[in-house]
């Protein structure tokens, strides 16, 4: 079986397993389908001859292809879950030969893919493209990454190519707050080069993500019947409102772009006894990020002083960190990817990611982990699609990365 056939079959096999994550569950993995997929991957790796693998109760699967030369160890990671956008959790992916014309995702339901709405698809005229039947996402995010990593396993178990230890890592529940990566013990993956394969279109490369903190603020007021409230009642809703008003109304997600950070009050629950606020703090720049966190501490203190009869408690937690925070100390993982793309004539398109990746979580744990393209477009949409040629390129690129690390950094 050639590489293209392998990738095609594997992608269809993995997308056929329903593995949408569920934010309402508190255990890992949040859905059984993710464990079923992890078990299948473990079996398939075993059949290829990779027996050094560990599937944890959380659904985290770590497998290792042992080194056959003295090159630095590296890892590739993808996530097992697909996103819940309110469509069907079951994915019925199929491959179409794209002619450049508009086409129906599904002939019965007559859901039309209009090329003028997503004109980037015209770049793939004449190619085979994976699409949905219009009832779900495709889940190329991140089954394409999963497929590429299995392609890496297939390659190194059937070719006699030199490489260091290669760790293949699959984590659950990325789409619901990067929970799988948060549960990952990076000591189990002792590598010098670490990558996620969870980016989008061909050539896409991300290593600039937000630094992120989450703040939960609880304001306990003084409650009493409103008829006897004079000089007694301290309404936590009004204290919460005053607290929010101390933040710049233009320093928000809806008023920022590119490299700008923000404060985002994203949830408020309140009753006469207490108000609870959920605040997200985001910034690319580490210094500005720290200043933002200082500002939150300061405002909470001021509000507490202003309302001595309420009790304010809060937690502030770093949830992920900018991958680029590491650039000053180690550029090698970035340089390898740049060189690999150049060697393969892939035009690199990079830009700040106004969010986080599993790599941003590993970054906060001290491991720089840039994110490489899978080839997908329109993720988190029923119009998500994946050109088979881009999936092939994603695998070729990953293999080139392994080769370059071996050649350039062998001891
Ligand atoms: Zn993803």
Instruction: Report pLDDT digits (tens) over 198-227.
Output: 999 999 999 999 999 999 999 999 999 999
Across the range 21-39, mean pLDDT stands at 97
Q: Which residues contact 402 (CB under 8 A, 6 or more apart)?
A: 74, 152, 156, 161, 163, 166
What does the CA dihedral 145, 148, 152, 154 come to, rounded to 10 degrees?
130
Cα distance between residue 13 and residue 223, in whole Å: 58
- What pLDDT is attached to residue 326? 87
| CA 304 to centroid of ligand 1, rounded, Å | 40
Q: Give the percent of the chain with pLDDT over 90.
A: 95
Look at the alpha carbons of 36, 37, 42, 43 in this order and tell me if their dihedral is positive or negative: positive
To the nearest whole number, what is the mean pLDDT of the chain? 96
CA of 359 from ligand 1 middle (Å) equals: 11
Cβ 376 vs Cβ 140: under 8 Å: yes
Catalytic residue, candidates 81, 133, 142, 165: 81
Strands 349-350 and 204-206: parallel
Q: What's the CA-to-centroid distance between 274 and ligand 1, angstroms?
A: 37
CA of 158 to the centre of ligand 1 (A): 28
Q: Which of 137, 155, 159, 157 is nearest to 147 (CA)?
A: 155
Ordered structural domains, the chain, with CATH: 3-209+323-409 (3.40.630.10), 211-320 (3.30.70.360)
Mean pLDDT, to the nearest integer, of 399-403?
98
User: Known catalytic residue: 174?
Assistant: yes
The token pair that represents 111 in the structure block: 């859901």
- For residue 102, report the phi and psi dihedrals to the nearest 5 degrees: -60, 150
The answer, yes or no, to whether residue 1 has pLDDT greater than 80, is no
Determine the pLDDT at residue 117. 96
Residue 218 main-chain phi, psi, to 5 deg: -115, 125
Phi, psi of 60 (to 5 degrees): -75, 125
pLDDT at residue 107 above 90? no
Task: Determine contact, residues 174/142, Cβ cutoff 8 Å.
Answer: yes
Q: Are 120 and 201 in contact (CB under 8 A)?
A: yes
In this predicted model, what pLDDT tens digit does every residue of 246-283 receive, in sequence order?
999 999 999 999 999 999 999 999 999 999 999 999 99
In this structure, what token pair is assigned to residue 106?
A: 């599904």
Q: What is the pLDDT of residues 75-103, one digit of tens each?
A: 999 999 999 999 999 999 999 999 999 99
Task: Please tell me the distance from the alpha carbon of residue 362 to that of residue 370, in angstroms, as a whole number.
Answer: 10
| pTM of the model as a whole | 0.91
Spot the catalytic one: 174, 192, 198, 208. 174
Q: Distance (Å, rounded) from C-alpha 74 to C-alpha 187? A: 13
């Amino acid at each position: 079986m050639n590489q293209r056939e392998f990738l095609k079959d594997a992608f269809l096999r993995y997308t056929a397993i329903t593995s949408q994550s569920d934010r309402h569950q508190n255990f890992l993995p949040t859905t059984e389908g993710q464990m079923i997929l992890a078990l299948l991957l473990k079996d398939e790796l075993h059949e290829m001859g990779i027996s050094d693998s560990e599937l944890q109760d959380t659904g985290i699967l770590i497998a290792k292809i042992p080194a056959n030369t003295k090159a630095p160890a590296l890892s590739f990671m993808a996530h097992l879950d697909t996103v819940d956008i309110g469509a069907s959790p079951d994915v019925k992916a199929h491959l179409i030969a794209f002619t450049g014309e508009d086409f129906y995702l599904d002939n019965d339901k007559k859901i039309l893919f209009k090329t003028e709405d997503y004109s980037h698809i015209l770049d793939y005229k004449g190619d085979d493209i994976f699409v949905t039947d219009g009832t779900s996402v495709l889940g190329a995010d991140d089954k394409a990454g999963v497929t590429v990593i299995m392609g890496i396993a297939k390659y190194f178990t059937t070719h006699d190519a030199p490489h260091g230890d290669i760790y293949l890592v699959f984590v659950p529940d990325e789409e619901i707050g990067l929970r799988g990566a948060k549960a990952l013990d990076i000591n189990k993956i002792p590598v010098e080069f670490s990558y996620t394969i969870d980016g989008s279109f061909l050539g896409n490369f991300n290593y600039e993500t937000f630094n992120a903190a989450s703040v939960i603020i609880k304001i306990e007021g003084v409650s009493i019947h409103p008829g006897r409230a004079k000089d007694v009642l301290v309404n936590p809703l009004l204290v919460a409102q005053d607290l929010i008003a101390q933040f710049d109304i233009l320093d928000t997600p809806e008023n920022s772009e590119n490299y700008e950070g923000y404060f985002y009050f994203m949830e408020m629950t309140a009753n006469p006894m207490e108000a609870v606020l959920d605040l997200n703090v985001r910034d690319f720049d580490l210094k500005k990020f720290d200043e933002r966190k200082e500002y939150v501490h300061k405002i909470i203190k001021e509000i507490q002083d202003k309302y001595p009869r309420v009790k304010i408690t809060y937690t502030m937690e770093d949830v992920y960190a900018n991958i680029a925070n590491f650039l000053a100390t180690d550029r090698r993982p970035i340089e390898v990817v740049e060189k690999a793309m150049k060697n393969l004539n892939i035009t690199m398109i990079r830009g700040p990611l106004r969010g986080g990746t599993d790599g941003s979580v590993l970054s906060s744990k001290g491991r720089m982990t840039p994110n490489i393209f899978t080839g997908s477009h329109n993720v988190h949409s029923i119009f998500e699609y994946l050109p088979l040629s881009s999936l092939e390129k994603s695998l070729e690129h990953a293999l080139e990365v392994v080769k370059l690390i071996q050649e350039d950094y062998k001891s």
